[in-house]
Amino acid sequence: MRSRRPAPLNALRTFEAAARHLSFTAAARQLFVTPAAVSHQVKQLEAYLGLPLFQRQHRAVVLTDAGRALAATLGEVFGHLDRALDQAMSQAAAVLRVTTLESFAAKWLVPRLHRFHRAWPGIQVRIETGDAPADFVHDGLDVGLRYGAGGYAGVHAERLMDAAVFPVCAPALLLGPHPLHVPGDLRHHTLLHDRTAVGRPGVPGWADWLEAAGAADADTGAGPVFTSAYLAQEAAIAGHGVALGIGPLVADDLQRGRLLRPYAQTSENAYAFWLVRRDTPMPTPAVDAFCQWLRDEASNERASVR
């Protein structure tokens, strides 16, 4: 075998970041160094290999064939390394990073989380909210909870709960001059809109629900529009109008009497709530425990609404 000097690991890590971003500047931000330091590390690696890894162009860099092949291999190698380190660290610290939507965190996950902490006091859960695609390897995430149509690539995903849609309102609206006896009564009330339902095939909005309920004469263009289901739901609780509730997100408020469901009519939803995790044969015990707890909580909720 041909002998060679030990591989420059820092240069390899720097090159992998630069190749993933196709930018020395972006790699520098990730690694907390200067772009000049990234350039120096890449040149050191190219000198070690004796071949170019990037083609330097005006204000851009492009991978060579050799650079592309090395970057693909390093992505897998560092991914395995990060997972191994995460698993080792989880045995000592048992910290779980969970990414989810603000609406789901506020209205479903957080109100139940005390039960997980009671069952697993040695596991610390850190919740991060957002709806961007989750990069489990490079962002150090353990579990994702998403609202969507499924088909998530590169991860293990399982359907956690359906997301049926139906109107909800504050109890006071049933006592006013226009109580909600039939769907047509909605024309006397403010409809609260969730912008995240717009433009998503199979996700019902007010026009879909009203048409299915036989009350298509209501004005679906009027009423305030909110950036999340959570905000629309809070507006309904405050008595500002009628919102389209998403089943799991309104369950607690319905149970506590903060919201009422004036009509039994339900619209099916092509979107659901999904449990997403790394597609790896070596999940940590903490991840397994949290995922099983989520399944149990979802199952208990389904049983309670039957």
Per residue in 42-77, pLDDT (tens digit) is 999 999 999 999 998 877 899 999 999 999 999 888
DSSP state letter for 5:
P
Q: Which residues contact 9 (CB under 8 A, 6 or more apart)?
A: none
CA atoms within 13 A on the CB side of 13: 14
- Contact at 8 Å (CB) between 205 and 244? yes
Tokens representing residue 261 in the block = 């469901």
* Pairwise CA distance, residues 146 & 164, whole Å: 15
* Pairwise CA distance, residues 145 & 157, whole Å: 9
Exposure string over 49-60, b if 16+ CB within 10 A, otherwise e: beeebbeeeeee
Q: What's the angle, vertex CA 205, arms to CA 111 and CA 248, rounded to 5?
A: 20
Tokens representing residue 300 in the block = 């208990």
Q: What is the pLDDT along the chain (306 residues), one digit of tens a residue?
A: 455 678 888 999 999 999 999 999 999 988 888 999 999 999 999 999 999 999 988 778 999 999 999 999 998 888 888 777 766 655 555 789 999 999 999 999 999 999 999 999 889 999 998 877 777 767 778 899 999 998 888 888 999 999 999 999 999 988 878 889 999 999 999 999 998 888 888 999 999 999 999 887 778 888 899 988 999 999 999 999 999 999 999 999 999 999 999 999 999 999 999 999 887 766 688 899 999 999 999 988 765 544
- What global pTM score does this model have? 0.68
In this structure, the number of other CB atoms found within 10 A of the CB of residue 1 comes to 3
Candidates 288, 287, 293; CA nearest to 119 is 293
* Pairwise CA distance, residues 250 & 245, whole Å: 6
* Pairwise CA distance, residues 264 & 82, whole Å: 49
Q: Could you identify the residue written with the tokens 């009509």?
A: 263
- Residue-wise pLDDT tens digits, 99-133: 999 999 999 999 999 999 999 988 999 999 887 77
